[in-house]
A and B are shown apart, each in its own frame.
Chain A
Amino acid sequence: ETGVTQSPTHLIKTRGQQVTLRCSSQSGHNTVSWYQQALGQGPQFIFQYYREEENGRGNFPPRFSGLQFPNYSSELNVNALELDDSALYLCASSFSGRPAGELFFGEGSRLTVL
């Protein structure tokens, strides 16, 4: 069984640039959630994708956008990067048929914005 994988693991961008982060779901999972984890904080929900549609969104501006592909992999795009976007971005996959909705996380992509 393949776990959740994310790429890249680390990247550095400058203010105003755009970034795309990628995630491959665990096999058998059909739902992907993205979280932002700032240093010393808990994960903050960005959005969730199910059946290639956004299925819920946290308190993040529209410059945070995403995609889910037919194979359930996903992308997180952030436009017009700001310094405060520096964080660990976590992807989590889950299966919609599980009432507990257990999340399985990848190792994260650490973004630094200079």
Chain B
Amino acid sequence: GEDVEQSLFLSVREGDSSVINCTYTDSSSTYLYWYKQEPGAGLQLLTYIFSNMDMKQDQRLTVLLNKKDKHLSLRIADTQTGDSAIYFCAEKSGGSYIPTFGRGTSLIVHP
């Protein structure tokens, strides 16, 4: 079955770049997503990438996809304290319309 793995914690200094990594097992993944969850809130879609792309940039966010290694990353430039949250990687395979989520990476931004 599908499996999405993420490291649990990442700590960065304000102003630095953050890189959150994700690996997945389903080689038929078509879309991969990054969601953000702030304390006590639901998940907010940040960005997604289609599997035929290697990179997608959206303001401070850069998504890199390595299909060969089944590796997805989210880079946040100039990380701010407001970026502190849990970031979830999710993937959807061609045979499913339901995304599978990882356990989330807790990003802590300190001054």
Query: Other CB < 8 Å A-B pairs besides A92-B43, A103-B45, A106-B42, 16 of them?
Result: A35-B101, A42-B88, A42-B102, A45-B98, A45-B100, A55-B97, A56-B97, A56-B98, A92-B42, A99-B31, A102-B48, A103-B43, A105-B42, A105-B43, A107-B41, A108-B41
A102 and B45 contact, Cβ closer than 8 Å, known pairs A40-B103, A42-B101, A42-B102: yes
Q: Which of B33-71 contact A (CB under 8 A)?
A: 33, 35, 40-45, 48, 50
A9 nearest in chain B by CB position: B40
A105 to B102, CA, bound (A): 16
CB of A2 closer than 8 Å to a CB of B: no
CB of A74 closer than 8 Å to a CB of B: no
A57 nearest in chain B by CB position: B98
Q: Are A33 and B42 in contact (CB under 8 A)?
A: no
Closest Cβ of chain A: how far from B66's Cβ, in Å? 20
**How many residues from A make CB contacts under 8 Å with B?**
26
Residues on A with C-beta less than 8 A from B42 are 4, 6, 90, 92, 105-108
Residues on B with C-beta less than 8 A from A100 are 31, 48, 50
Residues on A with C-beta less than 8 A from B98 are 33, 45, 48, 56, 58
Q: Are A48 and B97 in contact (CB under 8 A)?
A: yes
Q: Are A90 and B43 in contact (CB under 8 A)?
A: yes
Closest Cβ of chain A: how far from B84's Cβ, in Å? 17
Closest Cβ of chain B: how far from A3's Cβ, in Å? 9
Q: Which of A61-97 contact B (CB under 8 A)?
A: 90, 92
